[in-house]
């Protein structure tokens, strides 16, 4: 069987396997030393293309003829320029640089209606931003359902010249994980906005680097299903990317999930992994046999090729947290040592933990702790915002709401409305800081109706803010789902996770010693998650569930701080809505 050549690239120096923790490396990383930083230029065209991500031809949103889009590779301290031309015939577009904090460039965050106007067909927009911290990141569309349409790619930031990672590895692989539907993103969007709602359902395929298999399986002979064995010559768009490795080496696997819906569990047959990075921050290394990756999260794991080199091994991703109707995504770890007649492993793929075994998920999540040298949280806070996540109806439409308000994005970007004090661009009323004391998170809501809202949580500049994310029962009985929440413009500390309704006493168990510093955190069914961040980045920032249909149904809020300190915002970012009108009138020039 011919399969696609691997994308391994030999990188870091030492041939010594294993881990060597040199914590001062983190200090160097966080002190942001950038010797010889560069500007990296990219010229991109976003377009629709015919493509076969899972061996079935559909339409994907690609960049420069590629799906997923090109990988951006830069060094900490570099400036990235992406000149993005919209070649979609009848649709706007924006791109969000997930995990990049956009300090000084809030207009480059790529969130439609929040940081900028959409880029119209035929227009070119220049994203310009600094990548200040080494790590594994990605980018994706942040307008409507464009992530589900396939608009995404990897963004990898290496340590600054002269700096070192706090671990050694001999080579690395990059795996961008996603889910794929045969129904178009437009039809999914219409379904979600219909009355009654038509839920898009579970994905048809899981993809690694944009490659999956729908009507055949790499492991067909191990399953009882009727699927046939895939046959590839290696040039197919859906042929898996084989990870070709040498025995007795250590590889860094960069993993990031840009799924629209699926929470994933990743495993590598016979091999353990050492988790070393989460969302662009180093973590205390710990060993796992399998790991959960929620949409919006990224990780690095170290893999030591210490197993029988005469064998090959499966790399699998499986759906968690929702009853799976999607086959495992598979590729192969291929030891290059011995000549082999087939690439297919002789053993069946790893069996994923049961989809609703949340004990297993929590065990993994709570093992993630910051490596020494990571910034520590302030020990006190100025403000606590409790956000209750509920599924609701508004006039018969199914929505998600936060403290009973379902987010609708206005036509004027918040950044422009706030910068130019345009008061009628969004709801002037302050969104609620809390939810009723007697709300029972274990049952469906007694009043299932909510309202639309577009208000902003205005944060005092440089203050410390705590957010308690509170999960609850959805509309159906005995149903509460996983929601990974992503914050733009900041990393936050995850101070704690808990079951049921949050109460003030739970604060006694907050972790102030080594809380993980991240940009995405999960709330488990019927549980809460406590976060802390410092509002030190002038701009308007989305904070939302990273499940794309959920955001589309209103599951998000907007924070803003220090907007008066935002420097020049390129006019092109704001030439729509009321800021567009203002520019046409020639007043309020920046
Ligand atoms: O938002 C959602 O809606 C459906 C279901 O609750 C109603 O069909 C689902 O599984 C979600 O995650």
CA distance 14 to 203: 41
Are the beta carbons of 543 and 488 closer than 8 angstroms?
yes
CA pair distance 172, 327, nearest whole angstrom: 26
Q: The domain that contains 222 carries what CATH number?
A: 2.60.40.420
pLDDT for 517-544, tens place per residue? Answer: 999 999 999 999 999 999 999 999 999 9
Residue 137 CA to ligand 1 centre (angstroms): 28
CA nearest neighbour of 386 among 498, 309, 250: 498
Residue 458 inside a domain? The answer is: yes
Residue closest via CA to ligand 1's atom 5 equals 199
Within a domain: 16: no
- Kindly report the pTM of this predicted structure: 0.94
Specify whether 215 is located in the same domain as 357. Answer: yes
- Using DSSP, state whether 528 is helix, strand or coil: strand
What is the pLDDT, as a whole number, of residue 342? Answer: 86
Ligand 1 atom with the smallest distance to the CA of 549 is 1
Give the position, in ligand 1's atom list, of the atom nearest the Cα of 322.
10
Task: Assess whether 362 and 392 both reside in one domain.
Answer: no
Which atom of ligand 1 lies nearest, measured to the CA of 400? Answer: 1
CA–CA separation, 11 vs 443, rounded Å?
52
Mean pLDDT of 335-351: 90
- 549 CA distance to ligand 1 centroid (A)? 9
Q: Are residues 433 and 549 in the same domain?
A: yes
- Specify whether the CB–CB gap between 520 and 499 falls below 8 A: no
Evaluate whether 496 touches 510 at the Cβ level (below 8 Å).
Answer: yes
Asked whether 35 and 125 are in contact (CB, 8 A), the reply is: no
| Angle at 478 (CA atoms; ends 476, 479), nearest 5 degrees | 60
Please give the share of the chain, as a percent, with pLDDT higher than 90: 91
HSE on the CB side for 180, CA within 13 Å?
Answer: 34
**Ligand 1 nearest atom to the CA of residue 475, by list position:** 6
Atom number in ligand 1 closest to CA 479: 6
Query: Does residue 590 belong to any structural domain of this protein?
Result: no
Q: What distance in angstroms lies between residue 263's CA and the mean position of ligand 1's atoms?
A: 14
Residues 411 and 361 both lie in one domain = no
Is the same domain home to 193 and 110? Answer: no
Long-range Cβ contact pairs of 337-344 (< 8 A, separation 24 or more): 337/246, 337/247, 337/309, 337/310, 338/309, 338/310, 340/310, 340/312, 342/1, 343/1, 343/3, 343/242, 343/312, 344/1, 344/218, 344/219, 344/312
Which residues share a beta bridge with 278? 281, 299
Q: Best substitution site from 398, 448, 525 to test ligand 1's pocket, by max atoms within 8 Å of Cβ? A: 398
Q: List residues near ligand 1 (CB under 6 A).
A: 199, 474, 481, 550
Are 130 and 270 in a shared domain?
Answer: no
Is the distance from CB of 131 to CB of 81 less than 8 angstroms?
no
Count of CB atoms situated within 10 Å of the CB of 409: 19
CA of 479 from ligand 1 middle (Å) equals 10
What confidence score (pLDDT) does residue 203 get? 98
What pLDDT does 72 receive? 98
pLDDT value at residue 512: 98
Please determine, for residue 8, whether its predicted confidence score (pLDDT) is greater than 70. Answer: no
Write down the mean pLDDT value for the chain: 94
Q: What mean pLDDT do residues 163-186 have?
A: 98
For residues 336 and 415, membership in a common domain is answered with no
8 Å CB contact between 6 and 246 = no
CA of 173 to the centre of ligand 1 (A): 34
CA–centroid distance, residue 434 to ligand 1 (Å): 24
Each residue of 379-405: pLDDT tens digit? 999 999 999 999 999 999 999 999 999
Query: Of 158, 192, 226, at which residue does a domain stop?
Result: 158
Distance 199 CA to ligand 1 centre (A): 6
- Does some domain include residue 254? yes
* pLDDT of 12 strictly over 80: no
If one residue of 196, 450, 474 were mutated to test the ligand 1 pocket, choosing by the most ligand atoms within 8 A of its CB, it would be 474
On the question of pLDDT at 18 being above 80, the answer is no
> pLDDT per residue over 220-279, tens digit each?
989 767 789 999 999 999 999 999 999 999 999 999 999 999 999 999 999 999 999 999
Q: Is the pLDDT of residue 64 over 90?
A: yes
Q: Are residues 128 and 193 in the same domain?
A: no
Peptide bond into 68 cis (omega under 30): yes
Within a domain: 110: yes
**DSSP 3-state of 122:** coil
CA distances for 360 relative to 87, 344, 365, angstroms: 44, 29, 9
Residue 521: both structure tokens together: 């955190």
pLDDT at 587 over 90: no
Residue nearest to atom 8 of ligand 1 (CA): 199
Domain assignment present for residue 165? The answer is: no
Q: Are residues 531 and 468 in the same domain?
A: yes
Residue nearest to atom 3 of ligand 1 (CA): 199
Question: Which structural domain range is residue 408 located in?
Answer: 383-583
Radius of gyration, alpha carbons of the chain? 23
**Ligand 1 atom with the shortest distance to the CA of 199:** 8
Rounded to whole angstroms, how far apart are CA atoms 122 and 140? Answer: 19
pLDDT per residue as tens digits for the range 278-324: 999 999 999 999 999 999 999 999 999 999 999 999 999 999 999 99
Number of domains composing the chain = 3
- pLDDT confidence of residue 138: 99
Tell me the pLDDT tens digit for each residue of 313-327: 999 999 999 999 999
Position in ligand 1 atom list of the atom nearest CA 261: 12
Residue 193 clears pLDDT 70, i.e. is over it: yes
Together in a domain, 219 and 360 = yes
Domain shared by 355 and 424, yes or no: no
Q: Are residues 404 and 538 in the same domain?
A: yes
Cis peptide leading into 144, omega within 30 of 0? no
Three-state secondary-structure class, residue 572: helix
DSSP state of 161: B
> 345 to each of 5, 311, 341, 440, how far by Cα in Å?
17, 7, 11, 50
**pLDDT value for 33:** 45
Is the model's pLDDT at 590 over the cut of 80?
Answer: no
Ligand 1 centroid to residue 498 C-alpha, Å: 23
């Amino acid at each position: 069987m011919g399969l696609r050549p691997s994308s391994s690239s030999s990188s870091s120096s030492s041939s010594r396997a294993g881990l060597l923790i040199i914590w001062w490396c983190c200090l160097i990383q966080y002190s942001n030393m950038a010797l010889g930083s560069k500007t990296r230029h990219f010229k991109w065209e976003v377009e629709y293309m015919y493509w076969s991500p899972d061996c079935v031809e559909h339409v994907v949103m690609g960049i420069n003829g590629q799906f997923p889009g090109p990988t951006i590779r830069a060094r900490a301290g570099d400036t990235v320029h992406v000149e993005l031309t919209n070649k979609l015939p009848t649709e706007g577009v924006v791109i969000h640089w997930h995990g990049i904090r956009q300090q000084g460039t809030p207009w480059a965050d790529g969130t439609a209606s929040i940081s900028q106007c959409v880029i119209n067909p035929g227009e070119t927009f220049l994203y310009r931003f600094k990548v200040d911290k080494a790590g594994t990141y990605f980018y994706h569309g942040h307008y409507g359902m464009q992530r589900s349409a396939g608009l995404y790619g990897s963004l990898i930031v290496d340590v600054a010249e002269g700096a070192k990672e706090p671990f050694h590895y001999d080579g690395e692989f990059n795996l961008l994980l996603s889910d794929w539907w045969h129904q178009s993103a437009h039809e999914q969007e219409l379904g979600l906005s219909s009355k009654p709602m038509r839920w898009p359902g579970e994905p048809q395929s899981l993809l690694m680097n944009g490659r999956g298999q729908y009507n055949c399986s790499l492991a067909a002979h191990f399953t009882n299903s009727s699927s046939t064995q895939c046959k590839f010559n290696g040039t197919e768009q859906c042929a898996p990317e084989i990870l070709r490795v040498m025995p007795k080496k250590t590889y860094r696997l960069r993993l990031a999930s840009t799924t629209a819906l699926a929470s994933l569990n990743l495993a590598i047959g016979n091999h353990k992994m050492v988790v070393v990075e989460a969302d662009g921050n180093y973590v205390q290394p710990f060993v796992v046999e399998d790991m959960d990756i929620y949409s919006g999260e990224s990780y690095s794991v170290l893999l030591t090729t210490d197993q029988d080199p005469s064998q090959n091994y499966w790399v699998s991703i499986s759906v968690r947290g929702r009853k799976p109707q999607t086959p495992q995504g598979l590729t192969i770890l291929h030891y290059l040592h011995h000549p082999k007649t087939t690439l297919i492993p002789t053993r069946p793929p790893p069996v994923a933990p049961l989809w609703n075994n949340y004990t297993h998920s929590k065990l993994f999540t709570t093992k993630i702790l910051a490596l020494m040298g990571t910034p520590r949280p302030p020990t006190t806070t100025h403000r606590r915002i409790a956000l209750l996540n509920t599924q609701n109806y508004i006039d018969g439409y199914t929505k998600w709401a936060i403290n009973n308000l379902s987010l609708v994005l206005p036509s004027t970007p918040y950044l422009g409305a706030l910068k130019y004090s345009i008061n009628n661009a969004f709801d002037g009323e302050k969104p609620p800081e809390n939810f009723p004391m007697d709300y029972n998170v274990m049952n469906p809501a007694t009043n299932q109706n909510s309202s639309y809202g577009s208000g902003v949580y205005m944060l005092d500049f440089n203050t410390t803010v705590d957010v308690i994310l509170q999960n609850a029962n959805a509309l159906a009985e005995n149903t509460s789902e996983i929601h990974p929440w992503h914050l733009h413009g900041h990393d936050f500390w995850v101070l704690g996770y808990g079951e049921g309704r949050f109460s003030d006493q739970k604060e006694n168990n907050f972790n102030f010693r080594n809380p993980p510093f991240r940009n995405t955190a999960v709330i488990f069914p019927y549980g809460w998650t406590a976060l802390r961040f410092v509002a030190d980045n002038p701009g308007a920032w989305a904070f939302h569930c990273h499940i794309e249909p959920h955001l589309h149904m209103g599951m998000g809020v907007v924070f803003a701080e220090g907007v008066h300190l935002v420097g020049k915002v390129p006019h092109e970012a704001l030439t729509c809505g009321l800021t567009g009108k203002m520019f046409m009138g020639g007043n309020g020039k920046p």
